Structure formats: C-alpha cells, structure tokens
Amino acid sequence: MVTAFELEIRMPGLRRVAVNGLELNVALDGTGPAVLLLHGFPHTWELWEETMSGLSGQ
C-alpha cells in the first residue's frame, strides 16, 4: 500500500473569492492570463484537473 507521504500529489490552490456580492469556490493553478473553466452539475472542478495541468504547463 502506498501512503500519501510516498506520493507527490500536485493540487491547484483552492480558495473562496468574493465577486460582485457572490462567493465563488475557485481552483487556481499556474501564472499568466486568467482562463475560466466552468463545469456543470453534478461535476466539480476536478473535471478540469488534467486540462488545468496542461494549460499551466506543469
């Protein structure tokens, strides 16, 4: 069995951001111009995880 300490897991920074009176859950990764990736119900940000890695160059 592999423990979490043996894996090098890279996750985007998960944050809550207040925008125009709304609180949004966001996953931030990489640097440079912003790219907005939206998912629909019942998915989560994890739907875009592979795409985020490719866009951020990591």
Q: State the Cα–Cα distance between residues 50 and 2, nearest whole angstrom.
A: 22
Q: In the chain, what are the domain boundaries?
A: 4-56
Residue-averaged pLDDT of the chain? 77
- In b/e form, how buried is each residue of 48-57, taking b as 16+ CB within 10 angstroms? beeebeeeee
What's at 5, amino acid-wise? F
What pLDDT is recorded for position 11? 63
Instruction: Work out the average pLDDT over 21-43.
Output: 84
CB 13 within 8 Å of CB 29: yes
Q: Confidence class of residue 7 from pLDDT cuts 50, 70 and 90?
A: very low
Identify which has the larger pLDDT, 40 or 1: 40
33 cis-preceded (ω within 30 degrees of 0): no
Q: Confidence class of residue 2 from pLDDT cuts 50, 70 and 90?
A: very low
